[in-house]
Structure 1
Amino acid sequence: MRLISICPSNTELVGYLGLTPSLVGVDDYSDWPEDIHQLPRLGPDLDIDIDKVEALQPDLVLASLSVPGMEKNIERLEKRNIPYCIVPNPNTLTEVGESLLFVGNATNTKDKAKELYDQYIHLLEQYRSLSEQVDNPKTVYFEWWAKPIFTPGATNWLTEMCELAGGRNIFQDIHKSSVQTDWEEVKSRNPDVFCVAWVGVETKRVNPKVILKRPGVHEIKAIQINELYILEESLFCRPSLKLAQGLVKLGSILHPHIYPSYDQKKDPLLDNK
């Protein structure tokens, strides 16, 4: 089966299913697994080059509507009669796992998908048990965009990840997946831990000094106690099983005496044997 993925999270789901050799092209932002780096690049995920897609003669294009603007990719695929499926857009950690099952069904790898899904759910359950050992959950602020400020709300996997890692998202009272807020509101909520994972931005391009120059930043407890973390958006902002790796990292940050240590070279789902 000749597969094309036109967003990073779908490429990662394909990788977890061991189908990377079936990929014949990916979007510009896909960066995992390593094996994809020699593949043809088809443009940014919001503006895929449909001529390149068509020339590769895919059996199936794994598309997405996870970001506003991706609709035009779908329209172009339909106009050319290129076979595609839209991987569901999840909000919760369980729904992320269900996206894997969807891709497994679409690519005839149901058994592998179910095996991985079960491992993933088991890890979430393990972390839920560990979270019950936490007497005082730390309050956490996650920033995934800066201008304007966007942060996860109640119905977002990052809020769940905070809970499973022994924390509490300071914006979990707002019943939205993504919340637009402002700096004064962030300061007033005064988090214990300040996490920056800007969507689509690599950690090396995020300068902590930009955060530390904000007005009144040193009034925030997290900054006072040196709990500012620049995190990989690939482990926290994409709806793929890479979130499991992000969960392990977050647990080790919030409560290192309760949660397992984090090894950036180890994937808890692929390297757990």
Structure 2
Amino acid sequence: MPPLRLASLTCSNTDILHALGVTRQLVAVDSHSDGPGLEHAARLGPDLNIDVDALIAARPDLVLASLSVPGMEHVVDAVQAAGLPTLILDPISVPGVLHDIRVVGAATGMPERAQGVADALERDLSALHRAYERPPRVLVEWWPRPIIAATRDSWVTDLLDGLGAVNALADRAGRSTPLTLDEVRAARPDLIVCSWCGAKKLRPDVIEARGLGVPVVAIHESGLGRPGPRLLEGARQLRAALDALPGHP
């Protein structure tokens, strides 16, 4: 049987397929997916504005979507209405990410490879753990105006917990929330992470200019905003930032 023709509508799915070694099977991807070996794939536009007609023309055997992107539901509805076989991922935790890697592996005929990728990611994340007398409180900011940050039901919460830190907004339900400056202050973060989704340039100076007196570090959304193997990149950068905090050696 010939290899499956695959399409990915979000960066996180594409990253998983990269890790599984099936990049060449991608016939179509969203415009933000990056990494090597995608030159042959049709570009479908931004993840929230997928060109469904172009997707149909690419003739995929399986389309990988993800509800981890807020607002992706309408795209998924359009793809399914077109009759295309669709695998929908929706992780909100690190265990959920590991599970989805295995699900994608099973769907693409590479379960053993996927198990290895998931096991390695879990092992490498665990190796980054530190024990603190007082776990640092971290606020991960997805957008600056209005301020939007990761809340309890986000893989960010697990990722920080695994590092020995805590999500400063872990007491707020949901995946993310808009915040006033007073609400940021009330969250008492020891560190603010600038990880703006879709931004061409990260501007930690914008956050610093708010006058909160809290250290700010910039981590590209590819390391924190994509629930897939590249969370390890973000975790390593977080580890370095946490280790540099005063009073948190």
Gap change, CA 1:69 and 1:193, over 3 Å in 2: closer
Partner of 2:117: 116
Give the alignment's TM-score, normalised by structure 2: 0.89
Partner of 2:209: 213
The yes-or-no answer on 1:7 pairing with 2:13 is: no
In 2, the alpha carbon distance for the partners of 1:151 and 1:11 equals 24
In 2, the alpha carbon distance for the partners of 1:69 and 1:201 equals 17
Gap change, CA 1:104 and 1:179, over 3 Å in 2: same
Partner of 2:31: 28
Gap change, CA 1:38 and 1:183, over 3 Å in 2: farther
Q: Deviations over 1:89-108 (max 9, x none)?
A: 11111101111111111111
* Alpha-carbon offset, residue 173 of structure 1: 2.0
Partner of 2:141: 143
Q: Deviations over 1:237-270 (max 9, x none)?
A: 111111112111111211269xxxxxxxxxxxxx
Partner of 2:130: 131
In 2, the alpha carbon distance for the partners of 1:188 and 1:255 equals 23
1:1-273 matched pairs, under 5 angstroms? 1-31=4-34, 33-86=35-88, 88-127=89-128, 130-132=129-131, 134-202=132-200, 205-214=201-210, 217=211, 220-222=212-214, 227-255=215-243
In 1, the alpha carbon distance for the partners of 2:174 and 2:51 equals 33
In 2, the alpha carbon distance for the partners of 1:242 and 1:30 equals 13
Cα RMSD of the aligned pairs, angstroms, is 2.0
In 1, the alpha carbon distance for the partners of 2:105 and 2:190 equals 40
1:253 maps to a residue whose letter is A
Residues 197 and 236 of structure 1 are in contact (CA less than 8 Å); yes or no, is this contact kept in structure 2? Answer: yes
In 2, the alpha carbon distance for the partners of 1:185 and 1:77 equals 38
Partner of 1:269: none
Gap change, CA 1:137 and 1:37, over 3 Å in 2: farther
* Alpha-carbon offset, residue 175 of structure 1: 3.2
Gap change, CA 1:255 and 1:66, over 3 Å in 2: same
Gap change, CA 1:191 and 1:235, over 3 Å in 2: same
- State which drifts further: 188-197 or 70-79: 70-79
Stretches of 4+ aligned residues off by more than 6 angstroms: none
Q: Deviations over 1:218-254 (max 9, x none)?
A: xx342xxxx2112101100111111112111111211
1:131 maps to a residue whose letter is R
Gap change, CA 1:221 and 1:192, over 3 Å in 2: farther
Q: Deviations over 1:89-129 (max 9, x none)?
A: 111111011111111111111110011111122223333xx
Identity within the alignment, %? 33
In 2, the alpha carbon distance for the partners of 1:162 and 1:199 equals 18
Unaligned ranges ≥5, structure 2: none
Secondary structure in structure 2 of the residue aligned to 1:143: strand
1:150 maps to a residue whose letter is I
In 2, the alpha carbon distance for the partners of 1:68 and 1:170 equals 21
In 2, the alpha carbon distance for the partners of 1:103 and 1:148 equals 34
1:248 maps to a residue whose letter is R
Secondary structure in structure 2 of the residue aligned to 1:35: coil
In 1, the alpha carbon distance for the partners of 2:5 and 2:46 equals 20
Residues 20 and 105 of structure 2 are in contact (CA less than 8 Å); yes or no, is this contact kept in structure 1? Answer: yes
